[in-house]
Structure 1
Amino acid sequence: MNICTRIAQPDDVESIFDVRTSVTENHLSREEMQLIGINESIVADMVQQNRCAWVATLNDKVIGFSMILPDEGCLFAAFVLPEYEGRGVGRSLVELAEHELFKHHEKIWLETDKNSRAAQFYMQLGWGKTKNLNGSDIRLEKHRGV
């Protein structure tokens, strides 16, 4: 299995949304994303204007992605198709995002459900719990060099 990672391009956006809507934990439909202001057009603009997203591919099929908010120092999203979990895809994508964020920030952050598998995954990658947010979510931070 030859999984490759690369910077995302605007023509990857449809596949990014396919990955995002495929997950069972922290699932959002396209309609739910639209209600919170996330749609294909906005993501395509972000990808085109900034170095802010990466995709993992297998035989030219997008199987995962990560996305950052570069100005805010935020890891905004990291998702992998369920059938490819546990193969290092998410780790690679998060590392690419971290590397780019640490070019501009000493401390980076993300938010996730405190009881999620994602929270455990990020903590294994050196992200630390800093505070509870709304009862179910936490903000995790990571400092350059960790």
Structure 2
Amino acid sequence: MKIREALISDIEQMQFVRNAVKENMLSNPNLVTDRDCEEFMTIRGKGWVCEIDHKIVGFSIVDLKDNNIWALFVHPDFDKQGIGRQLHDIMLNWYFSQTDTTVWLGTAPNTRAETFYQRKGWNVIGTHGKGEIKFEMTAQSWKDIQKNKAC
């Protein structure tokens, strides 16, 4: 397993992973274009991928402009292997090395993603969009989580 910074050439495989998920599916896969991915990875923020046998099986993208997690997805065939946790942690470590601004995300209620973010220390602050749960993470909370993890 290899985690590395995402490249524009990875977008096709990232889209495959995004469209393979069983929860938080896009109602229309054309809503998130390759150009959108490129913009979020190169202009607005940064992305990472997880490769196994030269195949992308998960990815994450954080948006510095709107201070949110734009994407964190793992192909269902690779669930429960720690990939999401590793992508999450490298993404937040990078994000908070760039800014102390609180970061937020939205996810569907009653999903594994909701449970994942709660376990990772995110705080529910309300709803967002079409009934999604809105979470946030402060720089101080992330530092405390990292410090407690090291103990």
Normalising TM by the smaller chain, what interval?
0.7 to 0.9
Question: For 2:71, what is the secondary structure of its paired residue?
Answer: strand
User: In structure 2, what is the equivalent of residue 73 of structure 1?
Assistant: 67
- Normalising by structure 1, we get a TM-score of 0.87
Q: Is the 8 A contact 2:47 2:62 kept in 1?
A: yes
Give the TM-score, by structure 2 length. 0.84
* Counterparts in 2 of 1:7 and 1:51: CA distance versus 1, 3 Å: farther
Partner of 2:65, secondary structure, is coil
| CA contact 2:45–2:61 (8 Å) conserved in 1 | no
Structure 2: distance between partners of 1:123 and 1:50: 26
Q: State the match for 1:121 in structure 2.
A: 116
Aligned to 2:106: 111
Q: Structure 2 unaligned runs (5+)?
A: 146-151
CA RMSD of aligned residues (A): 1.8
Q: Percent identity?
A: 27
In structure 1, the partner of 2:78 is: 84
Q: Which SS does the other structure have where 2:20 is aligned?
A: coil
User: Cα distance, 1:135 vs. partner?
Assistant: 6.8
* Total equivalences in the alignment: 140
Written as runs of structure 1 = structure 2, the 5 A alignment for 1:1-146 is 3-28=1-26, 32-34=28-30, 36=31, 38-49=32-43, 51-103=45-97, 104-133=99-128, 136-144=131-139, 145=143, 146=145
Q: By how many angstroms is 1:122 displaced?
A: 0.7
Unaligned runs of 5+ in 1: none
Say which structure is richer in helix: 2
Q: Judge conservation of contact 2:45–2:63 (CA < 8 Å) in 1.
A: no
